[in-house]
Amino acid sequence: METRLIKAVVFDLDGTLIDSAEDLCTALNRLLAEEALRPLALSEVVPMIGDGAGRLVERGVLAAGGHVAKDALPVLTRRFLAHYEPHAAERTRPVPGAAEALAELAAKGLSLAICTNKPEQATRAILAALDLERHFAAVIGGDSVPGRPKPDPAMVLAATGRLGAAPHEAVMVGDARNDVLAARAAGLPVLLRRGGYTSVPAEDLGADGVFADFADLAAAIAALPQAVPAS
């Protein structure tokens, strides 16, 4: 095969770069309380994260014993976001080593993007609050490409396009199945962080590699078949 020059890295957000589960759980439980439904434990909410706010709300209401009419979900989702967005960075923190890894990759000349099913406004607010926004040349949220959340590849391709990189010049970094499926459909190799928001072990999701510590990310990118990171 020809050598692949890696110029760009596209990151998932929740469970990959940040631990946001507590703030998501708090906002969801506030919505459930308004609906007179039982609160959910953090351990119940974590596996629900990753498919966007609407799916989180739907799963949460059903898990709490409620019912979600199709025409009611958009309203419930807006109410959830009203609880979540003003408090999205209260307990949310970067995954240990993530900020340092982003700085290392940028220093190597790689362009970085976010590609998350979280709404773009909330994404940018969190990145700014955690001082991570400066690392990213592009931010693609779940509403940036309407109706096309991961695992649809449209968001990933939008991210690589904004970075000026062809799919074979980029790598996706995530934590769950949606990241693998979206990357595969877009033509990118994909690495997963072990310990993210997935009930299936990262090693079993079919990625090109798995890393446990962000200190190992640059080496994991360099170890991709036929990969040569830009320098």
Element (H, E) at 145: none
- Tokens coding 32: 């459930």
Nearest Cα residue to 34 out of 90, 72, 68, 80: 80
CB-CB contact of 87 with 26 (8 Å): yes
What does residue 118 show for φ and ψ, rounded to 5 degrees? -70, 145
Query: Of the residues 12, 14, 19, 179, which is catalytic?
Result: 12
What does the alpha-carbon distance between residue 33 and residue 170 come to, in Å, rounded to a whole number?
43
Query: Catalytic: 213?
Result: no
What does residue 224 show for φ and ψ, rounded to 5 degrees? -60, 145
Residues with catalytic function:
12
